Structure 1
Amino acid sequence: MRHKPKPTARQIVTGFFRLIRWPNLLILAFTQYLVRFTLIGEESIPWYRLLVERDVFLLALATSCIAAAGYIINDYYDIKIDLINKPEKVIIGRYLKRRWAMGINLFLNFAGIALGWLVDRKVFLLNTLAVFFLWLYSNHLKRLPFWGNLMVSLLTGLSLVVMAVHYHRHETEVYIYALFAFSISLIREIIKDMEDVRGDATFGCQTLPILWGIPRTKYLLYTLIALFVVILFSMTAPLQNQTLRYVFVGLLFPVGYLTYQLYYADTKQDFARLSTLCKIIMLAGVLTMVFV
């Protein structure tokens, strides 16, 4: 019997960074810093002082730790499914032993909760809830129709809500961007389920595309997109901030293009491209904070 060759140190390190999705973590931390500089920012404090502020550093680090732990636990439970949907991207069991993955997951979760305690008690509570719900999502909710999509999207929005909860400045603007992040994340999560329908069906996952089929799931997405647009503009209307309204009008163009492409999407590759487009729209939306 042939034994699998042991992974090299380089393969283990690169595999670990792929496992925790380090580009996503950088974007997450960047977004929280951008919220601090732009939406929450205080004119009396120079920008370079905000750059080294203790609380925003701890918040970003805590959020990154919890998100990294979430990626690990999600991949841990999804090894068999991922071997069908994306075999080339499987890390746990190939480059990183399962027990090591769980040990790192526990350490990162503890670090995220402890760092939240150092910021304030409300952040500690939110971080603790985030850890619990990430575990619940990976272990159970992900395989249920819609609930898994909803949970991971709520946690995406929570990464911005925690900033408003801690700083108590310009909360409405922060909540609007949190809703935007939640909306695009929910749309993307459902599209990812459409992309992964083959592997999910093999292992009994009850996602919307499996239960409803692709056409009916598309109709749900059209409804959600329209609903989110109406809610976002309703939230911006009472604010004396014309720039914010113009920003969301500008974002209607890529969202409209996404809807158009969704109508014609049919293959796994089509849905993969739509998932990437959602990430681009999310990043573009985050960058508009500098104009608000």
Structure 2
Amino acid sequence: MKNPILYRISQLIGFLLGARVFVALLLTFALYVSTFFLFNQEESLRNFVFDFKVHGIIFCTVLSIFAGGIINQFYDREKDQLTKPFRTRLQNFLKQKYFLYAYLTLNLFSLGIAYFISTRVFVFFLIYQFFMWFYSHKLSKILIINNLTFVGLTLYPFFGMMVYYHTFSVNVFLMAVFLFLILLIIDITKDFLTKNADKIFGYVTIPNYFGNSLAKKIVVFFFIILMLVSMLLINKTGIHTILNLYFAIGLFVTIFGIYLLLNAAKKTHFYLLNILRMWVFVGIIAMLLDGIIKKF
């Protein structure tokens, strides 16, 4: 007989993993940090705290990301059984129909709040949710489009905040390019690890289509552009801030990343993937500390 408490806990963990809750929480943190310290540099902390429209937009983003994670795992379920067997086993404690109910509920709730904020915000999230579904349903299996769409959807809320605050500058543009490139490299590196499963289930990825050798050269090319963007960011103000120090150290991280990428062992790709993910998180912390020093 099943232990009802353990069974319910397993159901909860399975749902949290299916909804990519931990990824959503990280993106929420990144949104708050970038909104207050990068896009909204003129507003005081007090005004920002009581700006309920901004909190509403970020909350809609979180709900949409939860929903996007659910629909993505619904379409990727067969592949995940090979690449993420433990996660899939936990998700099997809940029937797929409950994930779909949650997907629809989260999206509708998000759109309801968005409509309450403004019609433009409603349209913004309607487009976001449509492309999240379309990515999982169709675009995730199309060569190059899959990587570009994934990165674009990740950055979409940040672009929305930039437009909301009318924050347009060379520095912000370069930082956006930096983040785009590092997320693109992360996504392609992930494709190296799931190459066999992708081939079985019809996902046309850069490593599958071009082969490992050429695919690695493509990623090295992106790494080189990433280094150039980092040097441009450093050159604008010099290494006088925590954020610029982050970009300077990032040059060495990039070189080490190229070394790991060119290594033939599969486990080095796993190390590279997690180092780059951690480096993105370090960048968020660097922006937070840099912003605190400048504002306070």
Short-chain TM bin: 0.7 to 0.9
Q: 2:55 maps to which residue? A: 57
Q: Which runs of 5+ in 1 are unaligned?
A: none
Tell me the amino acid that sits aligned with residue 155 of structure 2.
G
Q: Distance in 1 between matches of 2:138 and 2:76?
A: 11
Task: Pick closer, same or farther for the CA change 1:248–1:124 going to 2, 3 Å.
Answer: farther
Q: Distance in 2 between matches of 1:163 and 1:171?
A: 14
Task: Pick closer, same or farther for the CA change 1:114–1:254 going to 2, 3 Å.
Answer: farther
Tell me the amino acid that sits aligned with residue 99 of structure 1.
K
Q: 1:11 maps to which residue? A: 10
Task: Pick closer, same or farther for the CA change 1:150–1:169 going to 2, 3 Å.
Answer: closer
Tell me the amino acid that sits aligned with residue 48 of structure 2.
L
TM score, norm. by length of structure 2: 0.86
Aligned counterpart in structure 2 of residue 81 of structure 1, from 79, 82, 96: 79
By percentage of residues, which structure has more helix? 2
Q: 1:281 maps to which residue? A: 279
1:71 equivalent in alignment to 2:60 = no
CA-to-partner distance for each residue in 1:224-272, whole Å, 9 max, x for gaps?
Answer: 12223334555776689964554422322222221221111431x3322
Q: Distance in 1 between matches of 2:286 and 2:182?
A: 15
- After the TM superposition, which of the residue ranges 19-28 and 73-82 deviates more from structure 2? 19-28
| Contact residue 123 and residue 166 of structure 1 kept, 8 A | no
- After the TM superposition, which of the residue ranges 57-66 and 121-130 deviates more from structure 2? 121-130
CA-to-partner distance for each residue in 1:145-191, whole Å, 9 max, x for gaps?
Answer: 11111101011122211111112246554444333332211111111
Q: Distance in 2 between matches of 1:67 and 1:199?
A: 25
Q: Distance in 2 between matches of 1:240 and 1:253?
A: 17
Q: 2:257 maps to which residue? A: 258
Q: 2:294 maps to which residue? A: none
Tell me the amino acid that sits aligned with residue 213 of structure 2.
P
What secondary structure does 2:38 align onto? coil
CA shift, 1:124, in A, is 2.8
Q: Distance in 1 between matches of 2:83 and 2:265?
A: 16
Q: 1:272 maps to which residue? A: 270
| Contact residue 34 and residue 289 of structure 1 kept, 8 A | yes
Tell me the amino acid that sits aligned with residue 21 of structure 2.
W
TM score, norm. by length of structure 1: 0.87
Q: Distance in 2 between matches of 1:265 and 1:148?
A: 25
Tell me the amino acid that sits aligned with residue 257 of structure 2.
L
Report 1:173-184 matches (<5 A).
Answer: 173-184=171-182
| Contact residue 13 and residue 90 of structure 2 kept, 8 A | no
Report 1:1-292 matches (<5 A).
Answer: 8-42=7-41, 45=44, 47-90=45-88, 94-169=92-167, 172-231=170-229, 233-234=231-232, 243=241, 245-267=244-266, 269-290=267-288, 291=290
| Contact residue 156 and residue 182 of structure 1 kept, 8 A | no
Q: Distance in 2 between matches of 1:67 and 1:117?
A: 18
Task: Pick closer, same or farther for the CA change 1:120–1:226 going to 2, 3 Å.
Answer: farther
Q: Distance in 2 between matches of 1:126 and 1:182?
A: 20
| Contact residue 161 and residue 175 of structure 1 kept, 8 A | no
Q: Distance in 1 between matches of 2:253 and 2:120?
A: 36
| Contact residue 37 and residue 287 of structure 2 kept, 8 A | yes
What secondary structure does 1:96 align onto? coil
| Contact residue 73 and residue 138 of structure 1 kept, 8 A | yes
Task: Pick closer, same or farther for the CA change 1:16–1:248 going to 2, 3 Å.
Answer: same
- How large is the RMSD of aligned CA atoms in angstroms? 2.8
| Contact residue 162 and residue 168 of structure 2 kept, 8 A | yes
CA-to-partner distance for each residue in 1:45-97, whole Å, 9 max, x for gaps?
Answer: 2x255234312321221111111111111110111111112211116861221
Percent of aligned pairs with the same amino acid: 25
Tell me the amino acid that sits aligned with residue 111 of structure 2.
I
Q: Distance in 2 between matches of 1:170 and 1:5?
A: 56
Q: Distance in 2 between matches of 1:173 and 1:56?
A: 23
| Contact residue 233 and residue 245 of structure 1 kept, 8 A | no
| Contact residue 63 and residue 107 of structure 2 kept, 8 A | yes
